[in-house]
């Protein structure tokens, strides 16, 4: 555990990726729970972000993911104009093997112990039914089922927001916000990706997909037989005639090899933390590839769960998610005016909003 602790301390106090307000390591031996809750910032309000359930190879990898995801949520919530800071939690383990009611209840008690500084929701490996269980121990839980006062599946508006980001990218690059006649490659057709396919087909786009889970691809093809399938992500990014590449699985999808091989002229997807390391955003720009920053275009889900705290109204939340189109367009204009990549422009805007909020009166936590 020394390696994990040293790594956390270095990231928190000595790395540019640090600056987190709080990191909580949680363990419940009876249920097998091992989790990390990371709160990056509460400058704009209580930290809001989902719970990822994943079989990390090491505890250090889990902590690093929680820190990166929490930081990303601060920027996402700031760009979405929400009164929330950024936080994220990860549960270590294979959800197919260790997820249980007892474990979820134990996790809920840990979140509740933070007294509203962190509001949780769904993420990879967790679902609406899971949040219903967590909510039995924790009032600061969103992403619950409508029957339990929640907003339901947040992937609905996540995919809608990404679609709006694609429309804005098309408007910026090609002068028309439609995807009709464009070819879009989607890596990952899980909760978000499958909804995104439907938006694109309805708009007249051609869609190529890939997923490590064959059952997910089969289910998609049964419903949409015109969709083409690539063997894997490597083949997808090299697909001739690809206009837009949409990473919709785990982070780090845009690494040196992928950027060098990309045939698409736009990258716009739902995955968090798509840039594998600093500098990738410049490599994309140097290749003439327009990058729609992930935390800007995938904010529909957090907009949806944040609205749940107000007494969920789908039409109101959808109207807010529609504004991702305008936000993305304005971001591209800012990046062009400043002569910097869109990712750098988004960071500047989000950091400015958080800094301005810190200088104002503190925001009270959600009761």
Annotated catalytic residue, options 88, 99, 191, 320: 88
* Active-site annotation holds for 223: no
Tell me the C-alpha distance between 50 and 334, whole Å.
29
* β-strand partners of 247: 187
- Supply the residues annotated as catalytic: 88
């Amino acid at each position: 555990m020394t390696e994990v602790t040293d790594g956390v301390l270095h990231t928190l106090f000595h790395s540019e990726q640090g600056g987190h307000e709080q990191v909580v390591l949680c363990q419940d031996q009876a249920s097998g729970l091992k989790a990390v809750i990371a709160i990056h910032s509460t400058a704009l309000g209580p930290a809001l972000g989902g719970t990822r359930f994943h079989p990390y190879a090491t505890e250090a990898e889990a902590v690093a993911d929680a820190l990166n995801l929490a930081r990303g949520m601060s920027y996402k919530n700031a760009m979405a104009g929400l009164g929330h800071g950024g936080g994220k939690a990860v549960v270590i383990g294979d959800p197919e093997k260790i997820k249980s009611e007892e474990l979820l209840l134990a996790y809920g008690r840990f979140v509740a112990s933070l007294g509203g500084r962190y509001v949780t929701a769904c993420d990879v490996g967790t679902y609406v039914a899971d949040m219903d269980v967590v909510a039995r121990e924790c009032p600061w839980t969103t992403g619950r089922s409508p029957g339990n006062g929640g907003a339901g599946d947040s992937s609905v508006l996540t995919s809608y927001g990404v679609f709006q980001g694609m429309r804005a990218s098309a408007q910026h690059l090609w002068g028309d916000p439609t995807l009709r006649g464009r070819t879009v490659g989607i890596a990952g057709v899980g909760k978000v990706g499958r909804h995104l396919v439907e938006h694109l087909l309805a708009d007249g786009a051609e869609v190529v997909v890939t997923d490590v889970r064959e059952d997910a691809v089969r289910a998609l093809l049964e419903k949409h037989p015109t969709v083409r399938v690539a063997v894997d992500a490597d083949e997808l990014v090299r697909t001739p005639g690809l206009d837009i590449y949409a990473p919709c699985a785990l982070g780090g999808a845009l690494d040196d090899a992928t950027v060098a091989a990309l045939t698409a002229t736009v990258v716009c997807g739902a995955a968090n933390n798509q840039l594998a390391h600093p500098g990738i955003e410049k490599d994309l720009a140097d290749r003439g590839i327009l990058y729609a920053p992930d935390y800007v275009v995938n904010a529909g889900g957090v907009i949806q769960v944040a609205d749940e705290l107000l007494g969920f109204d789908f039409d109101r939340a959808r109207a807010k998610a529609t504004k991702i189109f305008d936000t993305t367009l304005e971001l591209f204009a800012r990046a062009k005016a400043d002569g910097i990549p869109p990712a750098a422009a988004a960071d500047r805007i989000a950091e400015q909003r958080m800094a301005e909020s810190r200088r104002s009166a503190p925001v009270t936590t959600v009761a």
